[in-house]
Every structure is written in C-alpha cells, then in structure tokens.
Amino acid sequence: MNMMLGVSAKETITADQLSVLLQILTPESAGESRTQATQDMPYLGLSLHQNQVAHIFKGQPLKAAPFLKAEQYAPAQTALIQLELAPATPHTNYADNVPFERELGGRSWTFIHDSALKTLSHLDLKDFHPLGTTAAEYAFCLLLDAIKPFILKNGQIANPQGLLEQLSETTSRITKNGHFNYILTNGTYLFAHSHTRLDVLFSPITHDSQTQQICLIASQQMTDDELWSCLLPHALTMITEGQIRGQTATKNPASQADWQQQTIKFGTIETWMQQNSHTRRQRFARGNSHLYESS
C-alpha cells in the first residue's frame, strides 16, 4: 500500500517546511507501529531536487530513517515522498525501492507510484532499462524513453506541452496493463497521473516574511483545515513553480475493481494514521471536494 506526496514550489522549500510536510505524512509514533489488519510496517522514500541533482533516501523502515530531522534536509524546489505500508522486508532488492532515479539531459528524474501493473515486457524499451524487478520501474523506463526526444542539450524541455501529450500516449499504453497512479519530476516540471484519485492543494507558505504558493499532489487529502480538490480521473497533469500548466486525458480508465481496491487501501492507511496521531483527523472535506480541471 503506497501513499504518495509530490510538492512543487516557485522558490526554495526550506528544511523546516519539508519537516512539516513529513510530519503530516508520518504521524507521531508511527515509526514503531504496524497496521492492525496486516501487521505491515511503514517505510519511507524521499527525493529532494536541488538544481539538477536529486538527494535520494529510500529502503529503510520509517523508525530507522536517518533523514527525519530537519537539519538533514537540503533546501529543494520539488520533492517526492512515498509512504509504503509493507511486510517487514518489503524489497530485498534495493533497486526495487522507490523513489526510482535516472539521469537524463544532465538532470535527475525521479518517480514514485501507486500501481498494480501486470508484466510490461511486451512493450519495448530503448535507452533506459530497469535495475530491479518491478513492473513500475519498467514503466518508469518507458516514460523516460518518451521524454528523451524532448530534452535539449542543456537539459531543458524543448516543448513542455508536446511532452505532456507524448507522456499521455505512453501512459495510455501502460494503463492497458493495470492500475497506474504516478508522480514524475526533474525538479522543475512535475507530472502527475491520476488513473484513479489524486488530490491537489494550493497552499501559501511563509519563510523570512516571504510568502509563496506551493502545490501539493497526494494520494488523498492530508490536512483537515484546508479544502483539497481532486484531479480528474485518467488524466495527466503538468505542474511547475507551484502552478498547474497543463492537463490532458489518458486512455483506459481504471476499472471499478481498481477504484474499490483504492478505497480499501486508503481506508487502511487513514486508520493507521489516526491510530498514530495525537490529534484525530477530521474528514469534513471528504465528499465535498470538487474536480480540478485545467482550463
């Protein structure tokens, strides 16, 4: 069971602000806790993009994660965070842990997901190949192959809107093979695919008397005092500098069984979060959120 959070900002997100986001995602005492139903343990993966480089932390239980103190963080403009509730040894192969990372155009591209994909070996790879064994990493490589023709020598994206359309086509090829929510970023652009539900929040943050708006993309709403919206289902959304810049539909909508499975998984995660937080989360916005459609 995976819980994703992607963060995009116009300016630098400070270490303290990143710490607050992690505290929202990882309630107090959660590192020692297992889910009651499955006895799964929480694991955390994190990528922080600073200029062209991503700082990657992954593969350790939440309770043992060395990066939970604010002073450990490098300031970042974009961040990807994934909480995974998994058996005591989720991936014996380190390469199977998220976030996945590859270099393209002299920049780090990182990827997190919430997916249930069948094998993708019938889809041909070109320049990128998985290091591990998961279908999700194979899908990441397919997406990178689609991105490469749009990358200039300086690492910039030549035609962001054209790339959005190409990624939509590639994502649609992948979704023929199962459920596929993901967030992908190079530190400047963030692409989020909401095969089922992804929630979005635009929130101002202040540091040294300077206020900027950030965009949060999450598997489900993560705060109770702000009204989150929902991204359109089976849609790919492009975000940069804390603003949505484009959105396009993908093919192969998720099945009813996929939606039902998502509801069950997120119920388990929310129960686990409530059990490990001193302040029980309220759910006033559930059912009242509106769909966010890019104009």
Q: Kindly report, residue by residue over 168-196, the tens digit of the pLDDT.
A: 999 999 999 999 999 999 999 999 999 99
Compute CA distances 204 → 58, 225, 282, 286, whole Å.
28, 13, 21, 22
Class at the top of the CATH hierarchy for domain 2-292? alpha beta
pLDDT band at 290 (very low <50, low <70, confident <90, very high): low
Which tens digit of pLDDT belongs to each residue from 220-241?
A: 888 877 889 999 999 999 999 9
Mean pLDDT in the chain? 83
Beta bridge partners of 7: 79, 216
Confidence of residue 87 (pLDDT cuts 50, 70, 90): low
pLDDT in tens, 247-284: 999 999 999 999 999 888 878 777 766 665 544 343 32
**Residue 71 binned pLDDT confidence (cut-offs 50, 70, 90):** low
In the three-class reduction of DSSP (H, G, I as helix; E, B as strand; rest coil), residue 8 is classed as strand
Distance of alpha carbon 173 from alpha carbon 159, whole angstroms:
21
Beta bridge partners of 182: 113, 193
Distance CA 219, CA 186 (A): 20
pLDDT over 90 at 155, yes or no: yes
In this structure, what DSSP letter does residue 134 have? -
**In contact, 22 and 13? CB cutoff 8 Å:** no
Task: Quickly list DSSP for 145-185.
Answer: HHHGGGB-TTS-BS-HHHHHHHHHHHHHHHGGGEEEEEEEE
Candidates 192, 188, 200, 196; CA nearest to 168 is 192
**Residue 16: HSE in the Cβ half-sphere, 13 Å Cα cutoff:** 4
Percent pLDDT > 90 in the chain is: 54
